[in-house]
Chain A
């Protein structure tokens, strides 16, 4: 079993839709949770960063962490064609070398 599971998609939605992207994980030591966006042929860029359980909102993006279920989500409201990219979840444990563990990424396509 992988430490972090993420549906690879692809996920196609119409412009303006609410998008829900999810990851599950198995290591209860994960405390820091991130969402990265990766456009084609580019490096990942950080979108959202959350610590432990709860919600965090930034513009059209909301990150949600449910540690009891080992489940994190990223919601995108009013999705735009420019949101078309691969979304990677990443997690860091509280101890050790603080190594980022990435999910496989979900490919999202927002249709105009």
Chain B
């Protein structure tokens, strides 16, 4: 079974530039998550999709971050404009459903450095 695919693996941009990350979840997984993991911290949920609908985006900085999941499969996360504090690993995860007994499988992440 193929895992969660993310690209790019690494990205370096200057502050105020824009950047986009792509995620392809495991086939058949209805729930997709984007997490931000700052160095030395645990992952923090940015947005959760159930199919192509948003379930939770309460911690997404909506003035600069946006995400979409067209057709309920692939997803993109965009930052525009980027700030220095956005430097982090952006992890995409997927699960069959949401909540109990639905293991979240993570991709390898995209490491973003904002200079």
Residues on A lying within 8 angstroms of B by beta carbon are: 4, 6, 8, 31-32, 36, 41-46, 49, 51, 88, 90, 92, 94, 97-100, 102-105
Q: B100–A32 contact, CB under 8 A?
A: yes
B55 at interface (Cβ–Cβ under 8 A)?
A: yes
Other-chain contact of A43, B4, B40, B48, B99 (Cβ < 8 Å): B4
Q: A102–B100 contact, CB under 8 A?
A: no
Q: B48–A99 contact, CB under 8 A?
A: yes
A44 neighbours in B (Cβ, 8 Å): 43, 91, 106
Q: A104–B106 contact, CB under 8 A?
A: no
A92 neighbours in B (Cβ, 8 Å): 99-100
Other-chain contact of A49, B48, B56, B103, B111 (Cβ < 8 Å): B103
Q: B100–A104 contact, CB under 8 A?
A: no
What CA separation (Å) do A92 and B108 show in the bound complex?
22
Known contacts A43-B109, A99-B48; decide if A105 and B100 are in contact (CB<8 Å): no
Q: How large is the interface on B (under 10, 10 to 19, 20 to 34, 35 or more residues)?
A: 20 to 34
Residues on B lying within 8 angstroms of A by beta carbon are: 4, 33, 40-45, 48, 55-56, 91, 93, 98-109, 111
Q: A99–B56 contact, CB under 8 A?
A: yes
Q: B108–A43 contact, CB under 8 A?
A: yes
B102 neighbours in A (Cβ, 8 Å): 98
B41 neighbours in A (Cβ, 8 Å): 104-105
A103 neighbours in B (Cβ, 8 Å): 42
A46 neighbours in B (Cβ, 8 Å): 103-105
What CA separation (Å) do A27 and B61 show in the bound complex?
24
Q: A100–B100 contact, CB under 8 A?
A: no
Q: B43–A97 contact, CB under 8 A?
A: no
A36 neighbours in B (Cβ, 8 Å): 106
Q: A6–B42 contact, CB under 8 A?
A: yes
Q: A97–B55 contact, CB under 8 A?
A: yes
A41 neighbours in B (Cβ, 8 Å): 108-109, 111
Q: B55–A100 contact, CB under 8 A?
A: no
Other-chain contact of A102, B4, B42, B55 (Cβ < 8 Å): B42
Q: A45–B98 contact, CB under 8 A?
A: no
